[in-house]
Structure 1
Amino acid sequence: MTASTIKPQNQALTLNPSELRLRHILKTLPREVFIKDRRKAWTSVAISVLLACLGYVSIAFSPWFLLPLCWIFTGTALTGFFVIGHDCGHRSFANRRWVNDLVGHTMMLPLIYPFHSWRILHNYHHAHTNKLDEDNAWQPFKPEFYGSAGRPLQWGYQAIRGWFWWVGSIAHWALLHFDWSRFEGKQRSQVKFSSLLVLVTAAIAFPILIATIGIWGFVKFWLAPWLVYHFWMSTFTLVHHTDPEIPFKPESEWNEAMAQLAGSVHCDYPRWVEILCHDINVHVPHHLSTAIPSYNLRMAHRSLKQNWGQYLRECRFSLSLMNKIVSECHLYHPQENYESFQSYHSSLKDNKK
């Protein structure tokens, strides 16, 4: 961003970026984007449940060579379950907290995802988006930390920042979301409840599945779609927060409004993915306000393009996009934002000469 001032269209604001606050941006959004619609919310639940059921039926009756397509469809439909739980975690699904908690737990339970731990950690990410050493959603390692890490951690980090990015959310899920000792007070009790709920469910359901349909049945009906779901979770997270031009800033330089407006990415995916995932790809308005329900994100994005379009980052999901991210965006660099593994190791070799 090279502009020294911000001049949103149709607004009388002219602000230096350092003076920009979220309220300046939110005032330009239509009031309707913040309104919850009970019919739309529950329709999204019905759509996800019906599509997931359709996916499981297709798995049950399809020949073996069509199973990968069935897994992709079903896993993507299950990602829609998570997006509804995502709205519940932000309290944008319903007005009553107990409804958000009930629906959130219900939708995330088939994914073996603890609702409260995800809700708390994810809201922390929203409060510290692209803040160095604070954002808990896959921020880049600093070179000095990476260099001092053991080989297993280096290899693991290279994998999820490379072509194995799609398993990154599995590591995030396993390492962060079941440890209630990380939390305190009421939050610890909530996280413990959510964690034990999914663990007990898995301990009961998985043996029953294996006993009734066998190991292959368990893989076919649960594990394979679950891996597809994590593919989308990993991909959405990485693409929406990673670009060679997006900086991670130390707290002293961090501006919340600019981090949310220009530090998250809108990415267009195939339309069937966007439908099954309830427009979670329309990411920028969601970062500006978590109060916007998923079914209002497109309306909010149109308003942002009209008023703040010069600061929005937009792209289209493709192999070339992923190649750009996994080839360049590895380690933190204070001037260039990112340093690749290749550049880092080349520098080490040069320093040893």
Structure 2
Amino acid sequence: MARLVLSECCGLAPLRLRAGRGAIAAPSPPALSAAAAPGRPAPAAIHRDWALRVSAATRLTSAVEEDKRSSPLGEGDEHVAASGAAGGEFDPGAPPPFGLAEIRAAIPKHCWVKDPWRSMAYVLRDVVVVLGLAAAAARLDSWLVWPLYWAAQGTMFWALFVLGHDCGHGSFSNNPKLNSVVGHILHSSILVPYHGWRISHRTHHQNHGHVEKDESWHPLPERLYKSLDFMTRKLRFTMPFPLLAFPLYLFARSPGKSGSHFNPSSDLFQPNEKKDIITSTASWLAMVGVLAGLTFLMGPVTMLKLYGVPYFVFVAWLDMVTYLHHHGHEDKLPWYRGQEWSYLRGGLTTLDRDYGLINNIHHDIGTHVIHHLFPQIPHYHLIEATEAAKPVLGKYYKEPKKSGPLPWHLFGVLAQSLKQDHYVSDTGDVVYYQTDSKTNTSAQKSD
């Protein structure tokens, strides 16, 4: 049951589909679009010099094949029909009239430059804030202060995770050893196995938007969804349970997938990655030992207040943010299978989110579309890179709703998506989430 609850943390969600390249079988799918929007760049010529590195050497689609997949021209009349037949309305599932190389060319060259001193300054800032918050809360030791501390410290734990995430992508610096050392320290401090998570996250980036191959919050096929018992569905789609899924995912992964992020023999990893997994698991165990020692010295209640509650606030941040990167838009977003999937088309289903004052605190991770397409760009250049890429992306970029100082509106978006996005069809190459009316009614009653 626990594995099914966690599926959304790193791998569940419902879609709607289109059988092969024919009509969409999903409920109320977006209409097929006309040709490219006015002013949008012409389809990309084939570029052979494009290369993508997510966090380690990987086998990716060639630039030639990628441009063919992502451009309606050169694909035959069926792509022309797919992108421009139904009255001129935009179809987010149609192949875009541009390639990755065009997006990359629009981004200023300095946005690709990684400054290790600047990256380390962010680490120093966050560590000082974490230690300062803990010292202040312990000294005041007031129930008027503890709730504020938990919210603030949990958010800072999440900020540490994002910096470790950058180390995993290699966007922290060009020095692999520095990335590994800093990544281990940051992630181990919040009980995340650095290499284990880094590798599974690499799989997510390489397969984003693919129904079966994606690793993070991917859709639940209808057959598997309907095999779930009532309690599992309740936990999977009812707040706040989906916000507590990440620790379970680390140990047991998602429904339909096997493996643990701590086991070097897990099918998550290649044989040559075993040493890395042993290292990160040992670092994780060392942190568990440190926490056990502090609990013995300070008492379990004190440690629960100082570390335990902020840890679960961090987990809630991680689950909510990663879910909302790929779900909850007011228009249905496609997921792909088979030949319809490409790295570009999968990445264009990613969403940017505005978190108000939290944007700077968690290092602009809500600026996520360009990060997914080009994870080598440092977080401090993501906003500028996104603005530069928007003219190329056109309607394929979904402008995020502006937030107030705190992103309260996103809790409503999350709750609504959990009520509606339950499963996708077992067949079809372009699919959209479908809603189980029984689950939806049950969720509304529980509210």
The alignment's TM-score, normalised by the length of structure 1, stands at 0.89
What is residue 239 of structure 2 aligned with on the other side?
A: 163
Q: Deviations over 1:197-234 (max 9, x none)?
A: 211330x2122111111110110111111111111100
Check the 8 A contact 2:98/2:392 in 1, yes or no: no
What is residue 114 of structure 1 aligned with on the other side?
A: 193
Alignment of 1:98-109 (within 5 A): 98-109=177-188
Alignment counterpart, residue 263 of structure 2, candidates 179, 200, 212: 179
Paired letter, 1:172: Y
Check the 8 A contact 1:141/1:331 in 2, yes or no: yes
**More displaced stretch, 244-253 vs 187-196:** 244-253
**More displaced stretch, 166-175 vs 7-16:** 7-16
What is residue 349 of structure 1 aligned with on the other side?
A: none
Check the 8 A contact 1:26/1:288 in 2, yes or no: no
What is residue 330 of structure 1 aligned with on the other side?
A: 422
Check the 8 A contact 1:285/1:300 in 2, yes or no: yes
Question: What SS does the aligned partner of 2:399 have?
Answer: strand
What is residue 210 of structure 1 aligned with on the other side?
A: 295
Q: Deviations over 1:225-255 (max 9, x none)?
A: 1111111100111000113611221122213
Q: Unaligned 5+ residue runs, structure 2? A: 1-29, 45-70, 73-94, 253-259, 402-406, 442-447
**More displaced stretch, 63-72 vs 113-122:** 63-72
Change (3 A) 1:345 1:160: closer
Alignment counterpart, residue 283 of structure 2, candidates 194, 197, 200: 197
Displacement after TM superposition at 1:27 (Å): 1.9
Alignment counterpart, residue 82 of structure 1, candidates 149, 161, 173: 161
Query: What CA distance in whole angstroms lies between the structure 2 residues aligned with 1:275 and 1:99?
Result: 23
Change (3 A) 1:221 1:206: same
Alignment counterpart, residue 173 of structure 2, candidates 86, 89, 94: 94
Question: What SS does the aligned partner of 2:107 have?
Answer: coil
Change (3 A) 1:178 1:341: farther
Q: Deviations over 1:311-344 (max 9, x none)?
A: 1123344132122211111211467711223357
Query: What CA distance in whole angstroms lies between the structure 1 residues aligned with 2:38 and 2:369?
Result: 16
Query: What CA distance in whole angstroms lies between the structure 2 residues aligned with 1:280 and 1:18?
Result: 25
Paired letter, 1:320: G
What is residue 397 of structure 2 aligned with on the other side?
A: 312
Displacement after TM superposition at 1:18 (Å): 5.9
Question: What SS does the aligned partner of 2:433 have?
Answer: strand
Query: What CA distance in whole angstroms lies between the structure 1 residues aligned with 2:306 and 2:137?
Result: 7
Query: What CA distance in whole angstroms lies between the structure 2 residues aligned with 1:228 and 1:117?
Result: 22
Query: What CA distance in whole angstroms lies between the structure 2 residues aligned with 1:215 and 1:264?
Result: 41
Query: What CA distance in whole angstroms lies between the structure 2 residues aligned with 1:281 and 1:114?
Result: 23
Question: What SS does the aligned partner of 2:336 have?
Answer: coil
Query: What CA distance in whole angstroms lies between the structure 2 residues aligned with 1:40 and 1:339?
Result: 44
Bigger share in helix: 1
What is residue 43 of structure 1 aligned with on the other side?
A: 121
Alignment counterpart, residue 251 of structure 1, candidates 323, 335, 338: 338
Displacement after TM superposition at 1:42 (Å): 1.3
Task: Specify which structure has the bigger relative contact order, considering alpha-carbon pairs within 8 angstroms and separated by 6 or more residues.
Answer: 2
Displacement after TM superposition at 1:265 (Å): 0.5
Paired letter, 2:186: M
Alignment counterpart, residue 3 of structure 1, candidates 6, 10, 33: 33
What is residue 309 of structure 2 aligned with on the other side?
A: 224
Q: Deviations over 1:5-39 (max 9, x none)?
A: 44585744474226643223222211121111233
What is residue 347 of structure 2 aligned with on the other side?
A: 260
Change (3 A) 1:313 1:345: closer
% identical aligned pairs:
25
Displacement after TM superposition at 1:162 (Å): 2.9
What is residue 101 of structure 2 aligned with on the other side?
A: 23
Q: Deviations over 1:135-187 (max 9, x none)?
A: 010112112112234x3xx6345424331221122222232422322123221
Check the 8 A contact 1:245/1:337 in 2, yes or no: yes
Check the 8 A contact 1:59/1:71 in 2, yes or no: no
Query: What CA distance in whole angstroms lies between the structure 2 residues aligned with 1:228 and 1:41?
Result: 24
Change (3 A) 1:228 1:252: same
Query: What CA distance in whole angstroms lies between the structure 2 residues aligned with 1:278 and 1:344?
Result: 36
Query: What CA distance in whole angstroms lies between the structure 1 residues aligned with 2:239 and 2:399?
Result: 22
RMSD: 2.3
Q: Unaligned 5+ residue runs, structure 1? A: 347-353
Question: What SS does the aligned partner of 1:340 have?
Answer: coil
Query: What CA distance in whole angstroms lies between the structure 1 residues aligned with 2:34 and 2:139?
Result: 60
Query: What CA distance in whole angstroms lies between the structure 2 residues aligned with 1:327 and 1:309?
Result: 30
Check the 8 A contact 1:9/1:307 in 2, yes or no: no
Query: What CA distance in whole angstroms lies between the structure 1 residues aligned with 2:234 and 2:327?
Result: 15
Query: What CA distance in whole angstroms lies between the structure 2 residues aligned with 1:67 and 1:341?
Result: 40
Q: How many residues align?
A: 340
Query: What CA distance in whole angstroms lies between the structure 1 residues aligned with 2:439 and 2:308?
Result: 37
Question: What SS does the aligned partner of 2:214 have?
Answer: coil
Paired letter, 2:246: S
Question: What SS does the aligned partner of 1:313 have?
Answer: coil
What is residue 88 of structure 2 aligned with on the other side?
A: none
**More displaced stretch, 25-34 vs 116-125:** 25-34
Q: Deviations over 1:279-322 (max 9, x none)?
A: 11111110010110111111111112233242112334413212
The alignment's TM-score, normalised by the length of structure 2, stands at 0.71
Change (3 A) 1:158 1:340: farther
Query: What CA distance in whole angstroms lies between the structure 2 residues aligned with 1:4 and 1:158?
Result: 41
Paired letter, 2:364: D
**More displaced stretch, 95-104 vs 12-21:** 12-21
